[in-house]
Amino acid sequence: MSQTIQPPILPETSPDRMVNCEVALETAFAALVTESEAQGWTARETAETLLKIASEHIKLLAADVETKS
C-alpha cells in the first residue's frame, strides 16, 4: 500500500497551501481507506477512526506549540 506523497509546490505563506496538501494526500488516503475496508473494517469504522487519529494528532501539535511558548 505504499503511495508516494508529493512535496509542497507552494510556500508556507500561500493561502492555497492547504489545498495543495489535500491534493498531495488524496491518493494515499484513498489507498489507506480501501486497504482498511479490504481487511474487513467498515467504511464508518474506518472514517471514525481516521478522524479520531487526526484529532488526537492536532491536540498533540497544539500541546507542543504551548510547550514551546
The string over 34-67, giving b where at least 16 C-beta atoms fall within 10 Å of a residue's C-beta and e elsewhere, is: eebeeeeeeeeebeeeeeeeeeeeeeeeeeeeee
Q: How far apart are CA 14 and CA 16, in angstroms?
A: 5
pLDDT of residue 1: 55
pLDDT of residue 22: 97
Instruction: Enter the pTM of the model.
Output: 0.79
pLDDT of residue 59: 97
pLDDT at 9 over 70: yes
**For the chain, what are the domain ranges?**
17-68
pLDDT at 8 over 70: yes
* All residues at 6 or more sequence positions from 11 whose CB lies less than 8 Å from its CB, including other chains: 17
Query: Comparing 3 with 15, which gets the higher pLDDT?
Result: 15
